[in-house]
């Protein structure tokens, strides 16, 4: 099934509806990553931190072009606390062995 068909219901595309917190998590990860001593930064660990953080904050879906009057988003402080916890969990229990770890960019590199 093509990407555009995956997100269609009755001929209506749902691809333009996104969780507003997704990009907030990405931006917060970029800012916090250089501070994470001992974090390997491989693809698997980055994805695990992203998934753990996104799973622990409430979703807030919006349509592109929608007017949002009073968004109920987690505070920056709450987001950073949850993200720090996710980094710690993944650092302590990586989802891979050192042997099968994919190389990632140095932890000080910003995307």
Give the model confidence (pLDDT) of 27-44 as tens digits. 999 999 999 999 989 999
Identify the domain containing residue 43 by its residue range. 16-92
Q: What is the mean pLDDT of residues 43-56?
A: 96
Q: What is the mean pLDDT of residues 88-95?
A: 94
Instruction: Of 62, 70, 67, 77, give the one whose Cα is nearest residue 18.
Output: 62
Q: Is the residue at 11 inside a domain?
A: no
Domains identified in the chain, total number: 1
43-55 and 76-92 helices, crossing angle to 10°: 140
Q: Is the residue at 5 inside a domain?
A: no
Strand, coil or helix: 95: coil
d(CA 82, CA 53): 6
What are the tens digits of pLDDT across the range 9-23?
999 988 888 888 999
| % the chain with pLDDT above 90 | 54
Is residue 66 predicted with pLDDT exceeding 60?
A: yes
d(CA 86, CA 89): 5
pLDDT-based confidence at 4, cuts 50/70/90? low
pLDDT-based confidence at 65, cuts 50/70/90? confident
Query: What is each CA distance from 86 to 3, 49, 61, 103, 111, in whole angstroms?
Result: 30, 5, 22, 20, 19
Contact 71, 21 (CB under 8 A): no
Q: Is the residue at 40 inside a domain?
A: yes
Q: Is the residue at 65 inside a domain?
A: yes
């Amino acid at each position: 099934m093509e990407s555009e068909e995956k997100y269609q219901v009755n001929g209506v595309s749902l691809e333009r509806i996104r969780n507003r917190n997704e990009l907030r998590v990405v931006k917060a990860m970029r800012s916090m990553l250089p501070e994470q001593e001992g974090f390997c930064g491989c693809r698997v660990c980055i994805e695990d931190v992203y998934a753990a953080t996104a799973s622990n904050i409430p979703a807030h879906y919006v349509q592109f072009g929608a007017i949002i009057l009073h968004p109920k988003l987690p505070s920056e402080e709450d987001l950073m606390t949850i993200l720090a916890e996710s980094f710690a969990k993944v650092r302590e229990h990586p989802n891979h062995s050192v042997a099968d770890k994919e190389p990632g960019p140095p932890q000080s590199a910003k995307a």
